[in-house]
Homo-oligomer: A and B are copies of this chain.
Amino acid sequence: MVLPLDPTASAFLFAENRHMPMHVGALQIFQRPDGAGDDFVRRLYEGARDVSELNPLFLRRPRRSKRLGGQWVWEPDDQYDPEHHVRHSALPQPGRIRELLELCGRLHGTRLARERPLWEAHVIEGLDDGRVALYTKVHHSLMDGVSAVRLIGGVLSEDPDERGMEAAWAASSLERIKARRAADRDASGGGSGGDGDGYGRGLLDLPVSVVRSALGISAEAAGMPAALLRTLTKGVLDQTSAISLHAPRTMFNTEITGARRFAAEDWPVERLKAVAHASGTTLNDVVLAMCSGAVRTYLSDLGDLPDSSLVAMVPVGLKAKQSHLASADGGNAVGAVMVRMATDLDDAGDRLATIHASMQDGKDALASMTPAQIVAMSALGQTPAILTPMLKLQGVVRPPYNLIISNVPGPRNTLYWNGARLDGSYPLSIPINGMALNITCTSYDGNLAFGLTGCRRTVPHLQRLLAHLDDEVVALEKAVGVPGAA
């Protein structure tokens, strides 16, 4: 059975090249359960590899159909090879988080083989503290980052004693998530889609359908969207006029290579919320302020900090009635706000205040936009990897923004996989030409996890950003006077 790809999914295949692998990833770190034997990892690996039945999404591969005029179609892979997709790896000595991030960066820089289903998972042992990691990558044509995070997290359980759980790519996991979603919906009496939560809802079954409906296009989008791009360009310029027109060039805004580097760490949500509370801002503002201060120090150390402020593109959720774009199954649409990062200001508190105001301006602008503009912003928020390079081609000579910062809500409770506690979950995203650094955050179990994915060549010393992020939390606490902070 052959199924044509929808235009957005096709666009990810067309846009991909060796410099821009178009897959998203997740790194999860698990504790061994009490009493786990020596063969724990091997059994975990074998269980992940030998699922009883695959979710069909993970069994299909893309092919260009001559009969359909070169269109991409999905077809089942009748030679599915479990060992190709699920692999057992180990870290070199000394097996620190550093070696783990190094391996993830390398795995994330390798393209998926198109002759096979577009995903891979690596069970990784050898961490010096005995924990076990799982790196999973999925092509963006199959699933967007939000959906991938949800799917991979959604198969886990709050019950540490539950066993017999299959991996995210098993058909049984899909059933499991559907059942839980239905239960959640019943429990909440019909379930609207709140902003903060929304976990496990929406984009699951055919994630890109939301994007397609958000774009309001179908077949004509294959020959891609001159009209849409005009709207989009206009939308970006209109909404952010004074700001994004002045987005300066930085080292991030150049051609990239296919090599990747990955850095990740998490901070307690309560600690960041205390900063937000003391300053009358939001958690998301504090996340942006952390990024601002960290990037500022990083660029300054490398002698590349521009005089004017950097601009970040920040995807935000759009409420259904606001966007006119809610998908049929209750998911929210996503828009994009251009935020002045205030990297031209010396004081951490001033940067936070400026970001808060800029974010508010952006949201107000979004609320007052025409439907056409909302369509454009929504498309940009969902698919920056394919639309951002087009913006540049369309004659916006300066970068419309300098980096992309996403914050995706994740599960709030402690989760387990066959008794192994999930300690942390970190997203890996897609750097693109002109946008060499991507910062994606996701929350889990009281922590906010930052995943920094950069081009290895154009963004050197990426790990330093983690120390800068940590320094910035301290600076913010001090600047806004969090009670009791060191």
Contact = CB atoms under 8 A, between A and B. Distances in A.
Interface of A: 17-19, 38, 41-42, 45, 79, 81, 83-84, 87-94, 102, 106, 109-111, 113, 115-116, 125-126, 257-259, 456-457
B113 A84 contact: no
A310 to B, nearest CB: 27
Given A42-B92, A45-B92, 14 more contacts: A18-B79, A18-B115, A41-B92, A41-B93, A42-B93, A81-B257, A81-B258, A81-B457, A83-B109, A84-B109, A84-B259, A89-B92, A90-B93, A110-B113
B90 A126 contact: yes
A141 B308 CA distance: 52
A113 B83 contact: no
Residue of A38, A91, A94 contacting most chain B CB atoms (<10 Å): A91
Given A81-B259, A92-B90, A116 B18 contact: yes
A87 B115 CA distance: 24
Nearest to A82: B259
27 contacts: A18-B79, A18-B113, A18-B115, A18-B116, A19-B79, A41-B92, A41-B93, A42-B93, A45-B92, A79-B257, A79-B258, A81-B257, A81-B258, A81-B259, A83-B106, A83-B109, A83-B259, A83-B456, A84-B109, A84-B259, A87-B106, A89-B90, A92-B125, A92-B126, A93-B125, A93-B126, A111-B113
A86 to B, nearest CB: 11
Contacts of A45: 92
A125 B92 CA distance: 6
Contacts of A102: 88
Contacts of A109: 83-84
Residue of A17, A84, A110, A113 contacting most chain B CB atoms (<10 Å): A84
Contacts of A18: 79, 113, 115-116
